[in-house]
Amino acid sequence: DVQLTQSPSSLSASVGDRVTITCQASQDISNSLNWYQQKPGKVPKLLIYDASNLEEGVPSRFSGSGSETDFTFTISSLQPEDIGTYYCQQYDDLPPDFGPGTKVDL
């Protein structure tokens, strides 16, 4: 199975800050990496797919980059509504597992 590690596991930032989360895969997964946001008490939401493609309707302050084993997720200017946990997920191979998550708060 492909193992995903995320760092940091949690972070605190201020409104307007640039926030960066990394996700590392245990093997080459090409660009088959997604990023999801889960706000407290809510359902996970797809933000970025194929490593760098912004899902329709998602604000442009969210972005993703990377390929093979190293990926980065960025919020260019943190907003209060961005508080929650962010998960990477690979879908290059079964099982399409999620990373352990990064909790973002203010």
Closest CA to 84 of 49, 35, 51: 35
Q: Is 98 in the site for other proteins (CB under 8 A)?
A: yes
For residues 2-21, which are near other proteins according to CB under 8 A? none
3-state secondary structure of 66: strand
Which among 20-28, 44-52, 58-66, 76-84 is the span making contact with other proteins, rule CB under 8 A? 44-52
Which tokens hold the place of 16? Answer: 């307007």
Q: Is 57 in the site for other proteins (CB under 8 A)?
A: no
Q: Is 99 in the site for other proteins (CB under 8 A)?
A: yes
Binding site for other proteins (CB under 8 A): 32, 34, 36, 38, 43-46, 49-50, 55, 85, 87, 89, 91-101
